[in-house]
Structure 1
Amino acid sequence: MDDTTPVNWEALDALVVDFATSETLIEQQPQESLMDSPASPSSPPSPSSSSVSSSSSSYRSRLIIRQIRRCLAAGDIDAGIDLLRAHAPSVLDDHRVLFRLQKQKFIELLRKGTEEGRDAAIDCIRTALAPCALDAYPEAYEEFKHVLLAFIYDINDQSSPVANEWSEKRRCEIAGLMTSVLRAHLQAYDPVFAMSLRYLISIHKTFCFRQGTKSPVSDLTERLLMEVRDPPAVPQESFYEAPPFDEVDIQALAHAVELTRQGAVDSLRFAKGDLFQAFQNEICRTKLDMPMLDELVREYCVYRGIVRTGFVASAGDSQTYTALCCL
């Protein structure tokens, strides 16, 4: 976008305010208490009480998901399972999910390297992991037998057949998988602004790559949107079923979020054929640097006069504001 392209400031302000209030970056204020923005005589309309309640509920759900993610990424599987039982117990009814969690718990108990940890790992096998392996999914029992090799091979043996099981990367993978599952289960999607930003940055980067040009805001976009994605929440057996979806929907989703055709089919299957929900799920799998985005939003709100503050926007703030608008 160049400097001559008109910007709908009211719409942009409304998206930013929705994000800021949803993430509790600013307190929801009455309409008359908001300052007029410099480019528009009118302030964004305040949301209705029902939308505020919905936003608050979504925020609480996102906080729970983040807490579960932190527990799993740190290897505290029991704490993660306890949170799941408290806030999303039906997720654990899926034996595919439960098996993966129990398998990771087994590894984390062995990782302690103590006699108590080893005994607890054996107990985990007998009471939880083995029963789950029987009916989780077709390959689960083979995976169960394979992971038992962790009893034999040392954690530091990079050539062992279970080196991948020992890898702490597995923690991040299962944390990402559970985030994808819970986001859809709890309908805890990010605010529209965050999802829009993910999508706009993605297509902007793709466009620049195909044109062979360097983006004028690449220093910002490369730091803001991370390259890695969370694993998709896809039922294993979907690979063996014929897709009952319209090919137009499959191709639209595949091209919109750069999926393979099979990936688009799996995403639609998980969303029960809802193309919009599948699109949301895929967009939210990409990761934003949230602390950085929060800071950008705060600066934007100050610059636009959306929040009252004694802080005066500096030249640095103006550059940040311009970079946001260029997307």
Structure 2
Amino acid sequence: MDDAAPVNWEALDALVIDFATSENLIEQQPQESLADSPASPLSPLSPSSSSVSSSSSSSYHSRLIIRQIRRCLAAGDIDAGIELLRAHAPSVLDDHRVLFRLQKQKFIELLRKGTEEGRDAAIACIRTALAPCALDAYPEAYEEFKHVLLAFIYDIHDQSSPVANEWSEKKRSEIAGLMTSVLRAHLQAYDPVFAMTLRYLISIHKTFCFRQGTTSPISDLTERLLMEERDPPAVPQESFYEAPPFDEVITVDIQALAHAVELTRQGAVDSLRYAKGDLFQAFQNELCRTKLDVPVLDELVREYCVYRGIVRSGFVASAGDSLTYACTMLCFISF
């Protein structure tokens, strides 16, 4: 590590410990044991650090629920996803924009079964749920409703059909990603600061290297950690379409948000409207749309904890110093 840019190990340790405890990767150890660690002496966490850890841990249950709903929707089990929503975030289903998308996907999944029972259930879905939602979800919903009915006529394997996109299993991941974005903001279940920091630093590091025409010295790690695909943005409420124009102060926020997370101006406007003008919340919403490879990140954190003496070396099979070093570089890289 360059001596001219020393690492603030205590700050990095606090971020990693907050992440590890928030994600239940390790149990929080007494502060005395951390301070007495022979591998790396640590000062006791400050009150502010402790409060951050408590806040992150309090959203763990909500994040688990969101992951469970995401898995159900991505697997095409729309009913299970809706039941979980009713149990844990019923007000989300009051938004007919969201409900219409869920019911439309349910209709497709019922037809996908290819059975008489599935077809009958799809017809019942149209009559009792999909058609009523299409009437007041949003202006284009009824046209989308009429279009998706073509799935009755065209075969699932017909790639030239006008509803080939509706049959695509990619639609499942899109609706799962959309609900993840909506629920994360609705439940205020954001990832720990460490995970969001990595997303931001990797993205600006990649942008910097691209503009400079240079190859990143940590490209192997950044490509493994950060996925190119983003979740869809949360859907703005209907009332936002009647919102007054932003004033000059908000215009500055629009530009800042668009630049920070690589959005179009309209994307930044929609994001700020969804966050009711709260720039920090909009930034968190957009940042968390970028997907991290969670197993890779968890393993990296475990290795770091072993390397720094935060947990015993037997906690994992081995500590990868190369990954630890790359993590340190990433968190404190300067341009």
The two structures have a TM-score, normalised by structure 2, of 0.91
Deviation at 1:40, TM superposition (A): 5.5
Q: Is the 8 A contact 1:173 1:231 kept in 2?
A: yes
Q: CA 1:229/1:44 → structure 2, altered by over 3 Å: closer, same or farther?
A: farther
Q: CA deviation at 1:29?
A: 1.5
CA contact (8 A) 2:56 2:191 kept: no
Q: Deviation per CA, 1:203-258: give whole Å up to 9, x if none.
A: 00000000000000000001100000000013275885566334500000000000
Shift of the 160–32 alpha-carbon distance from structure 1 to 2, 3 Å rule, reads: same
Cα separation, 2, equivalents of 1:236 and 1:168:
26
Name the stretch that deviates more: 274-283 or 243-252.
243-252
In the alignment, what sits opposite 2:322? 318
1:58 is matched with which residue? 59
Deviations 1:71-107 (A, max 9, x none): 0000000000000000000000000000000000000
CA distance in 2, matches of 1:84, 1:315: 40
Indicate the percent of aligned positions where both proteins have the same amino acid: 92
* SS of alignment partner, residue 227 of structure 1: strand
Quick one: structure 1 residues 49 and 41, their matched pair in 2 at CA, closer, same or farther if it must change by over 3 Å?
A: closer
- Matched length: 326
Per the TM alignment, residue 28 of structure 1 is displaced from its structure 2 partner at its CA by: 1.1
Shift of the 50–133 alpha-carbon distance from structure 1 to 2, 3 Å rule, reads farther
Query: Alignment partner of 1:159: what SS?
Result: coil
Q: Is the 8 A contact 1:35 1:307 kept in 2?
A: no
Tell me: CA distance 1:17–1:104, structure 2 relative to 1, closer, same or farther (3 Å).
same
Aligned-pair CA distance for 1:320? 3.2
| CA-CA distance at 1:30 after TM superposition | 1.2
Cα RMSD over matched residues? Answer: 2.4
Q: What is the distance in 2 between the residues matched to 1:151 and 1:142? A: 16
1:46 to partner: Cα distance: 6.8
Closer, same or farther in 2 for the Cα pair 1:292/1:49, shift >3 Å? Answer: closer
Q: Deviations over 1:131-164 (max 9, x none)?
A: 1011101111111011000000000011111000
Contact 2:14–2:49 at 8 Å: present in 1 too?
no
SS in 2 for 1:171: helix
Unpaired segments of 5 or more residues in structure 1? Answer: none
Partner of 1:187: 188
Residue 237 of structure 2 is aligned to residue 233 of structure 1: no
Are 2:10 and 1:6 equivalent residues in the alignment?
no
SS in 1 for 2:291: strand
Displacement of 1:37? 5.6
| C-alpha distance after superposition, 1:164-196 (max 9, x if no partner) | 000000000000000000000000000000000
What's the offset of the Cα at 1:5?
1.1
1:134 match: secondary structure: helix
TM-score by length of 1: 0.93
Shift of 1:314: 6.4
1:303–1:318 Cα contact (<8 Å) kept: no
Distance change in 2, residues 1:324/1:256 (3 Å): closer
Kindly provide the CA deviation profile for residues 88-129 of structure 1, in whole angstroms up to 9, marking residues without a partner as x: 000000000000000000000000000000000000000000
CA distance in 2, matches of 1:241, 1:280: 24
Between 129-138 and 30-39, the greater mean CA deviation after superposition: 30-39
SS in 1 for 2:227: strand
Question: Which runs of 5 or more residues in structure 2 are unaligned?
Answer: none
Change in Cα spacing, 1:151 to 1:273, as seen in structure 2 (3 Å) is same
Q: Do 2:34 and 2:42's aligned partners in 1 also have CA atoms closer than 8 Å?
A: no
CA distance 1:146–1:281, shift in 2 (3 Å): same
Which residue number corresponds to residue 15 of structure 1?
15
Instruction: Tell me which residue corresponds to 1:217.
Output: 218
Counterparts of 1:311 and 1:25, CA distance in 2 = 10
Structure 1 pair 309–50 and aligned structure 2 pair: CA distance change class (3 A)? closer
Shift in alpha-carbon separation, 1:319–1:19, aligned structure 2, 3 A? closer
Q: How far off its partner does 1:55 sit?
A: 2.9
Residues 291 and 221 of structure 1, relative CA distance in 2, 3 Å threshold: same
